[in-house]
Amino acid sequence: MKPAAFDYIRAEAVDEVLEGLSKEGGNARVLAGGQSLMAMLNMRLARPKVLIDIMRLTELSRIEDRAGAVTIGAGVRQATLLAWPELTRTLPLLALALPWVGHVQTRSRGTICGSLAHADPSAELPLLLVALGGEVHLRSTRRRRRVSASEFFVGMMATARAEDELIEAVSFPAHNGGRCAFREVARRHGDFAIVACAAVATPTGVRLTVGGVADVPMARDWPCLDGSALDDALNGFAHELDARDDVHATARYRRDLVRIIGRDLIGEVLQ
Amino acid sequence: MTRLAAHSRYPVRLSLNDTPVEAEAEPRMLLSDFLRHRIGATGTHVGCEHGVCGACTVIVDGMLTRSCLTLAAQVDGCEVQTVEGLAPSPDRLGILQQAFRRNHALQCGFCTAGILMSLDHYLRRNPSPREADIRDLLSGHLCRCTGYTPIIKAALEAAAELAATTEEKSDA
């Protein structure tokens, strides 16, 4: 339970991070809050040759509310965003869901972008990014690009980030005052979700996003449904998610949670 | 940019409970191991080593921190507080520690160091917690003697006592 040996780089400028990633490629990993990566290193599920620590870069620790989007730098810790005074107004869904991300003791160190980079299928932040249709800002020595949430998560713990790219920031479209709801079932508050769901009102109806079931968070947009039409839609969605049995829950139980929580949340948002 | 080579040791300097300390560490050395093996501060316990059990929780620059998910190299120059810093003097327990003792809030004591650090951090910032808040905080710790009920009781008792102490001070 100790990490394999690696070189440690303490970056003092973003260019140093980009150059390091460009030179080392897949041998390098970016270290931010460490709440996912350090556990992977300790268990030797990851064995990078080089760790590049970005937490002394103050330019990555900004939260900006501009042009209808909230942009959160790679160094912003989860606790910092949760304490941001504008959060409830601009991103009410995140205000509801962030207390479910890990524990007080891990949110204090863990970053928003780090959780997205890790892309655990049961983690809340990838689900929230898909639910709100956010974008990941990637940067390398070659280029800068933005990738939409639905294209960023490509599989279990797999993302569209190339090996030489840094997740510089993430942006969530502000949904000022928009109706939304979030609920999660886990064995213990703060543990990874067995099923987590977010519902967000859209101009034409509602979007339901589900985490913890498929390899990536999955979203469906529906018009304003109720009654048996909603039941059928939820049941169809629950089966499409291709739930599997594991030590935490059966596939059937996961589908039940999608049907039940989905119905409750959509009711809350559309009422 | 600072680059530390994998198999070399480098000095790590930090403030431990307001006292400067220094020792050498390889880049891969965890803060938990650095505290215990290099500094000899064995009050911080090591349980799961992947951030789940909470036994190794310390405070780094005012942030609750799993020391097993933190490298010694990351905290170079930081202020670290551990359970050794809680008692006001070697022969006296702090208010929170006394409440733990009175309420039998520890049995084997393995998880206690981490829980004390979380509670100390929390009660300083939230002087009148609700039981639900304490339970939420404790969800980040595992106690396998299943002593949660007395731990919650001790925490609430300590909070009340700390509040009374503060009031007295403000009246003085």
Render pLDDT for B45-56 as a digit per residue (tens, 0 to 9): 999 999 999 999
A111: which 2 tokens?
A: 């970053």
Asked if the Cβ–Cβ distance from A188 to B2 is below 8 Å, we say: no
Cα–Cα distance, A18 to A113 (Å, whole number): 16
Compare CB distances from A109 to B33, B54, B65 and report the shortest one's residue: B65
Domains and CATH numbers, chain B: 10-85 (3.10.20.30), 95-171 (1.10.150.120)
**pLDDT at position A192, please?**
83
- CB atoms closer than 10 angstroms to residue B88: 11
Burial class of residue A215, CB neighbours in 10 A (0-12, 13-18, 19+) = middle
A190: left (phi over 0), alpha (psi -120 to 50) or beta: left
B5: left (phi over 0), alpha (psi -120 to 50) or beta: beta
Those residues whose C-beta lies under 8 Å from the C-beta of residue B49, and which sit 6 or more positions away, are A1, A2, A42, B30, B32, B56, B68
Share of chain A above pLDDT 90, in %: 95
> Is B169's pLDDT higher than 70?
no
ipTM of the complex in this document: 0.94
Q: Which amino acid is present at A245?
A: D
Q: Which residue has the higher pLDDT, B164 or B21?
A: B21
Cα–Cα distance, B130 to B38 (Å, whole number): 39
Sole residue written with tokens 């109720």: A226
Number of inter-chain CB pairs under 8 A, A vs B: 112
How many degrees, rounded to 5, is the angle at CA A106 between CA A108 and CA B166?
Answer: 55
Looking at the complex, report in whole angstroms how far the Cα of residue B101 sits from the nearest Cα belonging to chain A. 24
Those residues whose C-beta lies under 8 Å from the C-beta of residue A189, and which sit 6 or more positions away, are A100, B136, B139
Looking at the complex, report in whole angstroms how far the Cα of residue A144 sits from the nearest Cα belonging to chain B. 23
Domains and CATH numbers, chain A: 7-53 (3.30.43.10), 62-173 (3.30.465.10), 180-270 (3.30.390.50)
**pLDDT at position B147, please?**
86
**pLDDT at position B165, please?**
82
- Report the side by side order of strands in the sheet with A63-66: A63-66, A69-73, A166-173, A135-139, A144-148
Q: What is the pLDDT of residues A221-255, one digit of tens each?
A: 999 998 999 999 999 999 999 999 999 999 999 99
